Chain A
Amino acid sequence: MRNRGRTAFIITYLAPAVLIYAVFVIWPVLQAFGFSMFKWSGLSQNKKFVGFDNFKQLFHDKIFWVSLLHNAWIFLFGGSIILLVGLGIAHAMQGEGKFTKALRSVYLFPNIMSLVVVAVLWQFIYNPRMGLLNSFIELFGKQKQRFDMLGTPGTALPGVIITFIWYAAGFYIMLFAAGIRQIPEEVVEASKLDGAQGFVRFKKITLPLLWSVGRISLVYLVINTLNVFALVFLMTTGGPDRKTEVMLTYLYEQAFVNSDYGAATALAVANFVIVMAVSGLILRITRKNPVGEVR
């Protein structure tokens, strides 16, 4: 009797959340899985069931693999730099100097800006006709040709990655800073008494105790870099000649330019599976703290 009352109580409290989650999250996801099995322009109610054809087509689509590779570059280069910079700045911010205080007040600034503003701002910086970058380069002497960061095949993706790092780093600095602040003072004190200094203490104490924060950061980075869209779309639309194409800009093109909703949702499903798989893999690889648990 008591148990039944408890069950009713739990259901009453969980029901609204479950309902909202089912309607707004689970159902659209299931719908997307469904649409990926159809040939559909997204412009009418005429859908034709094609089974796994959209996936077969995707598997043989060179542009998809190129896009995935670009996502991987953003994760590997952007992600590594963000982790290093994040950790370094978070560590540096623990002091009480004037510079530290100033840093603390501005580090999250890019992250709270609208992504649209960030993209426009960096487009201005890179603009070959009036950008800051070219003005800076010209300080070292007149160039034969203006440098077109986003219009040159070899530098467009690095240009986007630099902007991504500038935008996203603040969030990871915040994560690491919070993690460092959680390290018990007595552990730090004890390590000092034991003679651990500078990098040794960072390696033996700070890093192992930040392991779980690092894991979470990595998973966030996987999600953010494999799902990057607005920044690339606004800065380059995937160009020049697909040199910055990522999965979601290609998805947008398939859905809204090529009117191939089936192919676009198949790509969305593939993106979902890849994000889940890579996140799962990272969680598994990083399951064990290599330095061992610090108690």
Chain B
Amino acid sequence: MIKRTFAALAVLAAIGFSVVGCGDGGSSKTSDNSGGGGTANGKDLEVISFSGGYGIDFFEKAAKEYEAKHPGTHITVSGSPRSWEQLRPRFANGTPPGLTWPGWGMDYWALIYDNQVLPFDDALATPAADGKTVWKDTFEPSMLKLGQYNGKQYEMPYHYNVLGWWYDPGVFKKHGWTVPKTFDELLALSAKIKAAGIAPITYQGKYPAYMIQGFLFPWAGSIGGIEALDDAQSLKPGAWKSPAFLKAAQMIKQLNDAGFFEDGANGIDHTESQMEFLQGKAAMIPCGTWLFSEMSKTMPPGAGMAFMLPPVADGGKGDPGMIQIGIEPWIIPTKGSNHDLAIDFYKYMTSLEKAKQFVEEKGTLMAVKGSDTAKLPEHLKEPARLFRESKAVYAIEYDQWYAKFGDEVKNAMTSLLNGSKTPEEFVQTCEDEAEKIRQDKSKPIHVMTR
């Protein structure tokens, strides 16, 4: 009797499994149909966008305008602050949207290695939205380069950020301080700032990426030139423990030992540290050009912010005008529907007219040439000028190419700042972790060229 009951239950369980199995089969079939730029309806396009400080209203409006100009097309735009979480199962299922800005949490390169991203090269050779210029020529070449792999263009730049330091001109004026251009000037000024009861520099301690962007790379580049940074990002043996990186780490320690970093900065996050800066408790902070849009709603009255380049190392061989940028790429999933429509809509979004509108409405810089002739908000004028005039532009890319290595460098930076690693141990850790990536044959090594 008991045996028979169990047998019956086993049969039921088996039916259960087969039902699930059917479900799986069904979904993969669907994905096959929609894959490969399927043409279920050549006039429908789904766009999923990261919805951060800039929201998605601009893209929704652009979609409406595009629909009005191209009757019969239907574009849906949706977004979320954690859009990558929404997108992961869609990619895994083979049913991604037609066009997407997946956001900072997406592993773009894993998608590219898995052939999930459509190269833009053919489209880039066609006319842009104005019908005259070749589409490729409408973008800043240094930004296009950031989305290339094996000679193909997988990621498309849209808006971009310039990374550096910020200070409050009002506070500096009040105390008669001048913006330091060199590390020696920084040390001298920091002593004065500290004496005035203000922390010279604060940072987003919980997220060590900010300190790598704001301290380590600018100083290593300033000492060893942009080649030192390219070598490190290309994982050349010894590059992470080169004299340039060691000296940069020592400069960080020097500031730390002198008490020029805000007390407790290691334990606070980006909004907390940025608020400390805006409240005048700290005089300078490393951050990108998103700072204004991120903090504008909570900015105390009377607070101001202005961009400055990180002070350069004295006697370094790097270009003093060297500038760090970062793009927020858009992609077309290989298995998304209606590639042609996706490309055409993206052309519209990156037309000079729309690019200028984005700059003015959202207060950020765009990768489209000429878009900086739009009316720039005050906080963007200096970064835009510095970018225009710079002959040495770079972006931090290694942490996107090799996520795990990126994590280990961040962890090591935390240890350098809390004193549990010396500068020598810090660079050695980075080099050891780089060696692990060099030994790992499962992922390609990117080599930077100029």
In the complex, identify which listed stretch (B4-12, B293-301, B375-383) lies at the interface while the others stay far away.
B4-12
CA distance A146 to B261 in the complex (A): 12
A18 and B414 form a contact (CB under 8 A):
no
Is A39 an interface residue when CB atoms closer than 8 A count as contact?
Answer: yes
The reply to whether B110 and A240 contact each other, CB–CB distance below 8 Å, is no
Segment touching B, from A73-81, A178-186, A206-214, A252-260:
A252-260
User: Which chain B residue has the least Cβ–Cβ distance from A153?
Assistant: B420
Closest partner residue, chain A, to B259 (CB atom): A145
Instruction: Verify B12–A27 contact, CB threshold 8 A.
Output: no
Expressed in whole angstroms, the Cα–Cα distance for A146 and B276 within the complex equals 15
A116 on the B face (CB < 8 A): no
Q: Which residues of B contact A7 (CB under 8 A)?
A: 1, 4-5, 8
Give chain B interface residues in 95-120, CB to chain A under 8 Å.
Answer: 105, 107, 110-111, 113-116
Interface presence of B19 (CB below 8 A): yes
A149 contacts across to B, CB distance below 8 A: 267
Taken together as a complex, chains A and B put the C-alpha atoms of A150 and B272 apart, in Å, by 15
For B431-450 the 0/1 string (1 means CB < 8 A from A) is 00000000000100000000
A residues near B414, Cβ cutoff 8 Å: 151, 239-241
| A19–B16 touching, CB < 8 Å | yes
The reply to whether A129 and B264 form a contact with Cβ atoms under 8 Å apart is yes
Tell me the minimal C-beta distance from B261 to chain A in angstroms.
11
B106 shortest CB reach to chain A, Å: 9
Which A124-150 residues have C-beta < 8 A from chain B?
A: 126-129, 134, 145-146, 148-150
In angstroms, Cα B262 to Cα A14, docked, is 63
Q: Which residues of B contact A256 (CB under 8 A)?
A: 88, 105
Across the interface, name the chain B residue whose C-beta is closest to A240: B414
Contact A259 B266 (CB under 8 A): no
Chain B residues contacting A42 (CB-CB under 8 Å) are: 88, 92
Q: How far is the CB of A206 from chain B (nearest CB, A)?
A: 40
Report Cα–Cα, A39/B441, bound state, in Å: 13
Report the bound CA distance from A150 to B107 in whole Å: 28
Segment at the A interface, from B39-47, B229-237, B403-411: B403-411
Partner of B415, one of A15, A19, A128, A153: A153
Q: How far is the CB of A32 from chain B (nearest CB, A)?
A: 14
> Bound complex: CA of A239 vs CA of B204, how far in Å?
14
Whether the Cβ atoms of B114 and A44 lie closer than 8 Å is yes
Instruction: Give the contacting residue for B92; candidates A43, A150, A153, A258; CB below 8 A.
Output: A43
B172 at the interface (CB under 8 A from A): no
Binary interface profile of A, 245-278, with partner B (CB < 8 Å = 1, else 0)? 0000000010011110000000000000000000
Q: Which residues of B contact A67 (CB under 8 A)?
A: none
Closest Cβ of chain B to A234, distance in Å, is 11
Known contacts A43-B114, A44-B91, A258-B404; A241/B411 CB under 8 A: yes
**Residue ID in chain B nearest A41 by CB atoms:** B110
A23 touches B5 (CB 8 A): no
Partner of B264, one of A19, A27, A146: A146
Interface size class of B (residues with CB under 8 A): 35 or more
Assess the B1–A240 pair: CB atoms within 8 A: no
User: In this complex, which of A39, A43, A44, A145 has the most chain B Cβ atoms within 10 angstroms of its Cβ?
Assistant: A43
CA distance A134 to B263 in the complex (A): 12
Say whether B49 faces chain A, with CB atoms less than 8 Å apart.
no
Task: State in angstroms the CA–CA spacing of A15 and B16 once bound together.
Answer: 10
Interface residues as binary, B407-429 with A (CB distance below 8 Å gives 1, 0 otherwise): 10001101100101100000000
> In the complex, what residues of A have CB within 8 A of residue B105's CB?
256
**Does B153 interact with chain A (Cβ within 8 Å)?**
no
CB distance from A12 to the nearest CB of B (A): 10
Task: Find chain A residues with CB under 8 A from B418 CB.
Answer: 148, 151-153, 240
Q: Does A10 contact B (CB under 8 A)?
A: yes
| B117 CB, nearest partner CB in chain A, Å | 10
Instruction: Report whether B114 and A41 are in contact in the complex, using a CB–CB cutoff of 8 Å.
Output: yes
Chain B residues lying within 8 Å of A257, measured Cβ to Cβ, are 107, 403-404, 407
Given contacts A43-B92, A45-B31, A258-B404, contact A126 B267 (CB under 8 A): yes
**Among residues 22 to 68 in chain A, which have CB atoms less than 8 Å away from a CB atom of chain B?**
22-23, 26-27, 39, 41-46
Contact between A11 and B12 (Cβ–Cβ < 8 Å)?
yes
Check A241/B110 contact, CB under 8 A, given A15-B12, A45-B28: no
Which residues in chain A, 72-95, are within 8 Å of chain B measured between CB atoms? none
**Once the chains bind, are B264 and A148 in contact (CB under 8 Å)?**
yes
Flag whether A201 is at the interface (Cβ < 8 A).
no
Contact residues in B for A46 (Cβ distance below 8 Å): 114-115
Chain B window 59-95, contacts with chain A (Cβ cutoff 8 Å), 1 for yes, 0 for no: 0000000000000000000000000000010011110
Q: Is the CB of A259 within 8 A of B110?
A: yes
List, in ascending order, chain B residues with CB within 8 A of A43's CB: 88, 91-92, 107, 110-111, 114, 116
Closest to B420 in A: A153
Minimum CB–CB distance for A50 against chain B, Å: 10
Q: Is the CB of B303 closer than 8 A to any CB of chain A?
A: no
Whether A240 lies near B266 (C-beta < 8 A) is yes
In contact, B8 and A11 (Cβ under 8 angstroms): yes
Asked whether, in the complex, the Cβ of B267 is within 8 Å of the Cβ of A128, the reply is yes
Instruction: Give A23 to B12 CA distance when docked, in angstroms.
Output: 11
B267 touches A11 (CB 8 A): no
In the bound complex, residues from chain B placing their C-beta under 8 Å from that of A128 are 263-264, 266-268
Are A27 and B268 touching (Cβ within 8 A)?
no
Measured in the bound complex, the distance between the Cα atoms of B267 and A149 in whole Å is: 8
**A295 → B minimal CB distance (Å):** 32
Residue pairs across A and B with Cβ atoms less than 8 A apart, 25 shown, are A7-B1, A14-B12, A22-B20, A26-B13, A27-B16, A27-B20, A39-B442, A44-B91, A128-B266, A129-B267, A145-B263, A148-B264, A149-B267, A150-B267, A151-B267, A237-B206, A239-B411, A240-B266, A240-B411, A241-B412, A256-B105, A258-B403, A258-B407, A259-B107, A259-B110
Binding site for B on A (CB under 8 A): 3, 6-7, 10-11, 14-15, 18-19, 22-23, 26-27, 39, 41-46, 126-129, 134, 145-146, 148-153, 237, 239-242, 253, 256-259
Q: Which residues of B contact A (CB under 8 A)?
A: 1, 4-5, 8-9, 12-13, 15-17, 19-20, 28, 31, 88, 91-94, 105, 107, 110-111, 113-116, 205-206, 262-264, 266-268, 272, 276, 403-404, 407, 411-412, 414-415, 418, 420-421, 442
Could you list 8 further interchain pairs (A-B, Cβ under 8 angstroms) beyond the known A129-B276, A241-B412? A6-B1, A22-B16, A26-B13, A128-B267, A128-B268, A145-B263, A258-B403, A258-B404
Please name the 7 residue pairs, one residue from A and one from B, whose CB atoms are nearest each other, closest first: A128-B264, A22-B16, A151-B267, A259-B110, A151-B266, A148-B267, A146-B264
